[in-house]
Structure 1
Amino acid sequence: MRFAFLSDIHGNATALEAVITDLNKKDVDHIVVLGDLSFRGPEPKRCLNLIRSLDASVVKGNADEWLVRGFNEGEVPKEALDGLNKERDWTLKRLNDEDLTYLSELPSEMIVDRGQDQLIHAFHATPTSLFENVYPDETTKIEHQLMQKDEADVYAYGHIHLPFVRSFHGKNVINPGSVGLPFDGHPLASYIIADLEEGRHTMQIHRVPYNREHVVELYHQGGYPNIETMGRVVFYGVKP
């Protein structure tokens, strides 16, 4: 069975459309979206509409939680809080109650079982946190914090905006990186396709070009409150 894993779209509907177009050529059986759907991009509403049209399995990310209930103390640096609140207010003006209900009701984790022999444990950051960072080289944290369900064969998460695939004890841990805001210096939209068959896993990271200039222009047209920073992230694939 062929799965596509997408994460961290962050309101970049142009990048998401490019990925969906690419997926339509790949004969994918099911799509898994690993959170952070709308916040910090110029088209939050269109992203939600696109995602909800996919019949995908979707889990909640920290940015989805922030849109619903705001920022709790300690979740973001104090010096960034004012700017993030302005970005959140801007985004909320473009969503309605139904959109926020959809985000609030997303599960924080799930087992994806589409009748295949291999089970997928999907979550945004870790199975117990929407916020904790676990990086590709942190072997101990990967084994103890991500690989918590012994019955799973694949552990899929997002959050760090860095794509990778690693194998442990005959199982795979994968991160598709970010569709909308890559942080690895490679600004193309990122996702993973996984072919899961009995006794065999094939994982491949895909990078998809899209019109980044158009996205930056959308930030300007919409009067986004943090245009310079977000435009740099989109155009160069770097952290804000």
Structure 2
Amino acid sequence: MKFAALSDIHGNVSALNAVLQDIAGQGVDFTVNLGDIVSGGLFPAETAERLLPLNFPTIKGNHERQLLEMPFDKMGLSDQHAFQQLQPAHWEWLRALPAELTLHDEIVMVHGVPGNDTTYLLEEVSASSVRPSSVTRVSDYVKHLDATLILCGHTHIPRLLELNSGCVIVNPGSVGLQAYDDDRPFYHKMESGSPHARYALLEKRHGKWAVEFRKVSYDWEEAANAARNNQRPDWVNALRTGRMG
């Protein structure tokens, strides 16, 4: 079994197209999508239109949940932009997505942690730093799951952790946005350090999961210019460099 895992596209259809082209040459059996699909400063409707016919196993991220549940005036700029652009077929698709999904009785897909789409699984944020999560902390979140592989997103940072049980946890990184900042639970920055679109290839060999993190070039200057034109100057440096300004 060999497959590709995507997450956090955030309406960056140019990055998505480049990743899909790369995946096409990898001989995968299927592709999965871990959410935060359309919200951002770029092309939400075009991204939904690109993905709809592909019918990938897909879950909601926190941004899909917010789009579907929050009043417009309580939304952030990314969700408001998507809300104004999406068409009826896109809304129907988003409403039907599950929050979590299990494939082949051993692969569990979550966006954040099981039962919570805004908590980081593989990173811990304190007042002074962002650091990789401990095995103990991650195990506490997933110990009830019967899985050999758990896929998560949300932090935009590619990361892998193997638990003492042998279960492997993988965040494939973000297709569409390589840096952001947030003030919850403390102010912090998440930065991949380059503008490349990210995803992961996963293959089960001799009963164990092998993981390859992929970086894909695309026209990030065009994406940065589109963000500026959509009144999102806060995205420009993140798209160009993979770092906050």
After superposing the two structures, state which structure 1 stretch, 88-97 or 27-36, moved more.
88-97
Deviations for 1:57-102, whole angstroms, at most 9, x for unmatched residues?
1000001112222279xxxxxxxx97x5444333222112331232
Deviation, structure 1 residue 147 = 4.4
Instruction: Pick one of 213, 229, 232 that aligns with 1:205.
Output: 213
**Deviations 1:175-200 (Å, cap 9, x if unpaired)?**
00100012321221111100114422
**Which deviates further from its counterpart, 63-72 or 172-181?**
63-72
Long gaps (5+) in structure 1 = 73-80
What amino acid maps onto 2:102 in structure 1?
I
Change (3 A) 1:147 1:56: farther
1:148 Cα offset (Å): 3.0
Q: 1:72-221 residue pairs with structure 2 within 5 A?
A: 85-113=76-104, 119-136=106-123, 137-139=132-134, 140-149=136-145, 151-168=146-163, 169-182=165-178, 183-221=191-229
1:31–1:54 contact (8 Å) kept in structure 2: no
CA distance in 2, matches of 1:174, 1:88: 26
Cα pair 1:67 1:100 within 8 Å, conserved: no
Deviation of 1:207 after TM superposition, in Å, equals 0.5
Q: Distance in 2 between matches of 1:70 and 1:220?
A: 25
Q: CA deviation at 1:54?
A: 2.1
Distance 1:239 1:52, change over 3 A: farther
Q: Check conservation: 1:191, 1:207, Cα contact below 8 A.
A: yes
Taking the aligned partners of 1:85 and 1:125, their CA distance within structure 2 comes to: 19
What is the letter of the counterpart of residue 157 of structure 1? Answer: C
**Residue 23 of structure 2 aligns to which amino acid in structure 1?**
L
Once the two structures are aligned, what percentage of the paired residues are identical? 26
Measure how far apart 1:201 and its partner are.
1.6
Amino acid at match of 1:217: N
For the residue of structure 1 that corresponds to 2:159, the secondary structure is strand
Aligned to 1:4: 4
**How far, CA to CA, are the matches of 2:71 and 2:214 in structure 1?**
33
List gaps (5 residues or longer) in structure 2. Answer: 124-131, 179-190
Q: Structure 1: which amino acid aligns with 2:106?
A: L
- Provide, for residues 15-67 of structure 1, a one-character-per-residue CA deviation record: whole Å limited to 9, x for no partner: 00000000000011011100000001311011112222223110000011122
Shift of 1:232: 1.7
Distance 1:87 1:164, change over 3 A: closer
State the superposition RMSD in angstroms.
Answer: 2.1
User: What number of residue pairs does the alignment pair up?
Assistant: 223
